[in-house]
Structure 1
Amino acid sequence: MIDRQTIHVHDIAVAEDEFPYTRSLGIPRGVRTFLATPLLCKDVPIGAIVIRRTEVRPFTEKQIGLLKTFADQAVIAIENVRLFQELKQRTAEVEASNSELREALEQQTATGEILRVIASSPTDLQPVLDTVAESAARLCEATQSQIYRVDDGMLQRVAVHGSMPLAEMWRPLTRGTPTGRAIVDRKVIHVHDITTEFESYPESKSRQQVTGSRTILVAPLLREGVSIGAILIRRQDVRPFSDKQIALLKTFADQAVIAIENVRLFKELKESLEQQTATSEILGVIASSPTDAQPVFDTIAQSAMRLCDGAMGVVSRYDGELVHLAAHTHVTTEGGEILRQMFPMRPGRSGVHGRVVLEGGVVHVPDAQADAEYSQSLRQALDLRSALAVPMLRDGRVVGAVAVGRLEVRPFTDKEVALLQTFAHQAVIAIENVRLFNELKESLEQQTATSEILGVIASSPTDIQPVLEAIVKNAARVCGASDA
C-alpha cells in the first residue's frame, strides 16, 4: 500500500529480511506464497487485496493481472458505497432543508392569512380568533386548539378548532388547570401527560375524563405584561410538543393579542368619532335654536340612547318642585307612551330622575330588579334592568337630568358616564342660551318702549294724550297683555 504497487513473494520463508512481519505471521499459519495488490482511488491507497498459498507456488502473470482487476473492482465498489452514502446524506439534508422551508412557508402563509383577516375585520374579532385557532392546531399538529379570554375573574372560551370533546365554556380562573396557571403565572405551560400531573392540576382530572386530553401546551395572551387570555393546544396521545411548536404557539398568541388590540382600538376610535360627531351635532342645534331648547333636548335624548347602547333615552327638567319630561326616545312605541305617563313627578327614590334631584350627583342602577328602592311596577312597565342618570347642574343646583336605560343587566362604563355628563352640560348650555336670549330680547323691547315714549314726550310738550297712549300701547306689548 505504501509503495502503491503489487507485491509478489514466492516464498515468505526465505523473505525474512524484506518482510519479517509477514513471515512471523504467515509461517505459523502455513503460508508460503503471498500476493498483494493495493486498492488505489485516484492514486491514493485506501486498502489492499491479498491472496496466499500454503505451498510454494508462485502466481502467474494472468493471476496477478486478475487480482489487479479485482482490486480495481473493489475500489469501484467502495467508491460506489461512499458516493451512495454521501448522496443519501445529502438527500436527507435536502429533505430536511425542504421540510424546514416548507414549515417556514406554511407558517408565513398562516401569518399572512391571519394578518389579512385582521385587516379585513377591523371591528369583528371572531374571524381572526377562528383563523388563529385553526392555524395553531394545523401547524403544531395538535388534535385541538382553544382560545380563552379573561372576563371578570372567569375564563371564557372564544374560539375552538378540532374534534375533541369540550368541557364547559365558562369556568373560574384558577391555577388548578394548565390554562389557568399559564394566565396567572404569565408563562408557557407544557404538560407532557396530564394524567400523571393531577396533583399539580387537580381541577383537570374531571375535564380530562370528558376530553381525553393527554399532552397539553398553553401560551398566555399578554398585553403590556397583563394576561388577557390564553391559547391552548392539546393531543389525545402522549407526544410532547417540540421547541419549534412551542415557539410557534407563542407567535400565534402574539397575533391573537394584536387582533384583540386592533379591534379594541378601532372601536375606541369609532366611539370617539361618534361622540365627537354627536357633540358637534348638539352644539350645531344649540347654535341654530337660540330661542328654543326643545330641539337640543330631543337630539340629546337620541344621542344618549344610541351612543350608550341603551333602549331608551330621557331628558327631564326640574322646576324646584316637580320633575317634568323634556324629551325622550325609546326602542318601542309602547315604551315611549309609558315614559310620557310617568311625568310630572315629585323627586323620590323610586326612579333615577327623582334620585338625581335628591342626591345632586350621578345615579347608576346596575340592576333595577335587585334595587329595593326602585319602583318595581315602573321597572316592569318599562321592562328596565340597568339605568344611568346624570344631573344637569346650573350654579350647583339640579335643573334636570339626562338618563339612559337598558332592557338587560349590563352596567354602564365610566366612559358612558362621562359621555352622559357631557350631554347634561350641553343641555344646561342650551337652557342658559335660551334664558339669556329671552332676557336680552326683553331688555331690548323695554329699551325700545322707553325710547319710543321719550320720543313722544319730546314731540308733544303741550299735549299729554299722545304720551299716555304710547305708554298704554307699550305696556301691553312689553308685558304681554291683550290690552291696557
Structure 2
Amino acid sequence: MTGLGRRELGGPADFERELSESKAREAALAAVLGIMRRGPSELTAVLESVAMNAVRLCAADNGSIAQLKSDGWRLIANVGDIDQESMERNWGNQPIEANRRSLTGRVLMDRRTTTIVDAQADPEYDAGVGLFNVRSLIGVPLTRGEDIVGVLILRRQEPKPFTPEQVHLLETFADQASIAIENVRLFNETKESLERQTATSEILRVIAASPTEIQPVLDAIAESAARVCGASDAHVYRVEGQVLKQWAHFGPIPGLASGESLPLSRGSVIGRSILDRRAIHIRDAVDLDPAEYPISSQLQRRWEFRTALSVPLVRHGIGIGGIAIRRTHVQPFTPTQIELLETFADQAAIAIANVELFQTVERQRGELSRFLSPQVAALITSEQGAKMLEGHRRQITVVFCDLRGFTAFAETAEPEEVLGVLREYHRVMGELIVEHRGTLEHFAGDGMMIFFNDPLPVERHELQAVRMACAMRESFEEMARAWQKRGYELGFGVGIATGYATLGRIGFEGRYDYGAIGNVVILAQRLSAEAKAGQILLSQRVQAAVETDAETTAVGDLALKGFTRPVPAFAAESVKTPARS
C-alpha cells in the first residue's frame, strides 16, 4: 500500500498533524533563511536559530552546535535545558578526537550522521559521563567540501531514538548552518585580505614617503601588525651589538622602559627568533619553561601576556631585529597571521636597507663633494648619471682664470707660503663657484676651469659666468691688498667663452674626471692667457648674450694661439642687473 493510502487510512487527524508539522518545518527553515539574508555578521543568530528550531521540531531536550576554530572545537550555540558551566568545563578540558568515546568523535570518525540510542548503555561512550543527564544523542556533521567544520548535536534525557523524518530535518538544518559558516568564512577571508592589502599598501606608502627616516615606517608596521593580526600589542626590536633595543611599540601592554634593553640570547622568544632566523609561536606564555626562556618567563610575569609570536628581520642572512606581537588571552595566531607578520618583517628589513642605502649615498656624495664639484658629485650618484657620464653635447659657458705673477712668486717664496696663498685663493674662489652654480672642472696650480649649464641647466649661463667672474675679481682684490703687505705681487685674469662642447667622463679606469672638450674650451683658455691683471675678457658670443646686462668695452681683435684669424674680444667691467634670489 502506498504512503498516500496509509495516510488516508490514518484519518483526518493524522493528515492535519502531518500538515501542521510540515508547515512548522517550512516556517523554521524559512526563519533561518531570513536571518541568513541579513548578512554574514549574523552567524551567531543563524546558528542559535538552527539549534532552537532543531530542538523544538525534533522533540529534544537541548541542543548545541560545535564549530572547529583555529584554537580547537568550541560550542558556539546552546539552547534548551543545559548546564552551561558543566558544558564549557567538559568541552574545555578535553580535545575532540576521531574516536568512539564521544558523539562528536564518532561523527568525525564515521563522517556522517551518528546516533546513540542510550548513552548509559553504550560501553564505548564515556564523554560527559557524570556531568550530563543524557540518554539519546544525535550528531549531524556540518561540512565544507570534504572537511567537517562543525557538528549539530541534539540530546534527550530519555532513551528515545530519533525518527528518519527528524534525521532528514536535522540534516537540512545542518546544511543551512554549513552555508552560513561558509558565507562568514568567505566574507572574513575577503575582509582580511582587503585589510592585509590595505596595511601593506600603507606601509609601502610610508616607506616611499620616508626614504631618509626609518622611525615612521616602523611605527606604521607596529600599528598594522597589531591591528591586522588581531594582537593586543606589537614591538619592533633592533640588534645593537649584543643587546636588543626597542625600536617601535604599539598597544596597551607595556614595553621596555627608556634606556632598557634585552640581551641578544636564546633566553627570550624574540632573541631566539632573531638568532635562529625563524618564527616562534607560543600558545600560552604562562607555560614557558624558565630554564629554556628565563627572560621571556620573567617578562610574562611582569606584563601578563599569554599568546606570543615573534619573527625576525633578516638582511643578508643575518638577524638585524625582530617583531613581536602578543595577546592578553590565550588564542593562537593563525597561519595567515603568521605569514602576514613575516611579510611585515620583510617590509621592515627593506625599509631599513633603503634608509641605510640612502644614508650611504648621501655620505658618499658628501665625501665626493670634497674632491669634486657638488654638481658632479650629485650627477655620479643620480639615476641619469651613468648616461650623462658616457658623453653628450650641450652649449656651455667656460671660464678660465689664473693668477698673474704667480710663477715669479713661487720661485722666490717658501713652499709653505705658496701653499698658504693657494689655499686661501682656492677657498674664496671655490665658495663663489658654488654660490653661482658653476661646475668646477679642475684646479691646476693657480689656474682653474669652470663651466656653466652642465650637468645642471643654468638660465642665462653666459650672464651667470660673467657675474661670477666679477665677484671673483672683487674678492681677489681684497686678498691681494693683504698679500701686498707681505710683499706678494699677484694679479688675477679671466677668459670667458660660450659654445657647444662634448661633456662626459674623461680618464681611465681608477681615475676619471668629468670634463668638457671643444673649441669653446680652447678659446676661453686663450682669452684667459691674454687677460691682464684685473681683466675679464669675453668672446664675441658672450658679449652678445650679456650686452644688455653688463658694462663691457671692446678690446679689439686678438691674435690667439691656435686660431688662424684674429678673435674679437671684450672686457667686462661690471654687471648691471642683480642676481635672482
Q: Cα distance, 1:296 vs. partner?
A: 0.3
With structure 1 as the length reference, what TM-score do the two structures score? 0.68
Q: Cα distance, 1:94 vs. partner?
A: 6.7
Cα gap change, 1:326 to 1:219, in 2 (>3 Å): same
Q: Cα distance, 1:124 vs. partner?
A: 5.2
Which one of 168, 178, 190 corresponds to residue 115 of structure 2? 190
Q: Which runs of 5+ in 2 are unaligned?
A: 1-6, 377-396, 407-421, 435-581
Q: Which runs of 5+ in 1 are unaligned?
A: 1-88, 476-484
Cα gap change, 1:113 to 1:175, in 2 (>3 Å): same
In the alignment, structure 1 residue 374 sits paired with structure 2 residue 290: no
Q: Cα distance, 1:310 vs. partner?
A: 2.1
Which one of 46, 50, 53 corresponds to residue 128 of structure 1? 46
CA distance in 2, matches of 1:431, 1:108: 62
Any idea what the Cα deviations from partners look like across 1:387-426, whole Å, max 9, x if unmatched? 2221212221222212212223333332222111111111
Q: Cα distance, 1:121 vs. partner?
A: 5.1
Q: Contact conserved, 1:149 with 1:230, CA < 8 A, in 2? A: yes
Correspondence for 1:218: 139
- Opposite residue 365 of structure 1, the aligned amino acid is I
- Opposite residue 374 of structure 1, the aligned amino acid is P
Q: Cα distance, 1:260 vs. partner?
A: 2.1
Pairs aligned (count): 379
Which one of 282, 290, 297 corresponds to residue 365 of structure 1? 282
The secondary structure found in structure 2 opposite 1:229 is strand
In the alignment, structure 1 residue 103 sits paired with structure 2 residue 21: yes
Q: Cα distance, 1:469 vs. partner?
A: 4.1
The secondary structure found in structure 1 opposite 2:100 is coil
The range that moved more, 463-472 or 310-319, is 463-472
Any idea what the Cα deviations from partners look like across 1:27-53, whole Å, max 9, x if unmatched? xxxxxxxxxxxxxxxxxxxxxxxxxxx
Correspondence for 1:308: 229
The secondary structure found in structure 1 opposite 2:250 is strand
Residues 248-263 of structure 1 mapped to structure 2, 5 A cutoff: 248-263=169-184
Which one of 117, 123, 137 corresponds to residue 199 of structure 1? 123
Which one of 273, 278, 281 corresponds to residue 356 of structure 1? 273
Cα gap change, 1:402 to 1:124, in 2 (>3 Å): farther
Which one of 376, 385, 401 corresponds to residue 459 of structure 1? 401
In the alignment, structure 1 residue 393 sits paired with structure 2 residue 353: no
Q: Cα distance, 1:322 vs. partner?
A: 3.6
With structure 2 as the length reference, what TM-score do the two structures score? 0.57
Residues 38-117 of structure 1 mapped to structure 2, 5 A cutoff: 99-117=17-35
CA distance in 1, matches of 2:24, 2:365: 80
CA distance in 2, matches of 1:304, 1:330: 10
Q: Cα distance, 1:472 vs. partner?
A: 8.9
Q: Contact conserved, 2:71 with 2:331, CA < 8 A, in 1? A: no
Residues 319-358 of structure 1 mapped to structure 2, 5 A cutoff: 319-332=240-253, 335-336=254-255, 338-343=256-261, 345-358=262-275
The secondary structure found in structure 1 opposite 2:154 is strand
Correspondence for 2:342: 421
The range that moved more, 215-224 or 456-465, is 456-465
Any idea what the Cα deviations from partners look like across 1:442-484, whole Å, max 9, x if unmatched? 4445555522699999434557343144669999xxxxxxxxx
- Higher Cα Rg, which structure: 1
Q: Contact conserved, 1:218 with 1:230, CA < 8 A, in 2? A: yes
- Opposite residue 87 of structure 2, the aligned amino acid is E
Q: Contact conserved, 1:221 with 1:256, CA < 8 A, in 2? A: yes
CA distance in 2, matches of 1:248, 1:303: 46
Residues 256-295 of structure 1 mapped to structure 2, 5 A cutoff: 256-295=177-216
Q: Cα distance, 1:247 vs. partner?
A: 0.4
- Opposite residue 230 of structure 2, the aligned amino acid is D
Q: Identify the structure with the greater helix proportion.
A: 1
Correspondence for 1:168: 87
In the alignment, structure 1 residue 138 sits paired with structure 2 residue 64: no
Q: Contact conserved, 1:149 with 1:158, CA < 8 A, in 2? A: yes
The secondary structure found in structure 2 opposite 1:168 is helix
CA distance in 2, matches of 1:385, 1:430: 30
Q: Contact conserved, 2:313 with 2:323, CA < 8 A, in 1? A: yes
- Opposite residue 401 of structure 2, the aligned amino acid is S
Any idea what the Cα deviations from partners look like across 1:207-241, whole Å, max 9, x if unmatched? 5xx42x44433322233233333222233445433
The secondary structure found in structure 2 opposite 1:425 is helix
User: Structure 1 vs Structure 2: percent identity of aligned residues?
Assistant: 35
Q: Contact conserved, 2:273 with 2:312, CA < 8 A, in 1? A: yes
CA distance in 2, matches of 1:246, 1:388: 44
CA distance in 2, matches of 1:473, 1:399: 45
Any idea what the Cα deviations from partners look like across 1:74-93, whole Å, max 9, x if unmatched? xxxxxxxxxxxxxxx97977
Cα gap change, 1:316 to 1:240, in 2 (>3 Å): closer
Q: Contact conserved, 2:222 with 2:236, CA < 8 A, in 1? A: yes
- Opposite residue 426 of structure 2, the aligned amino acid is V
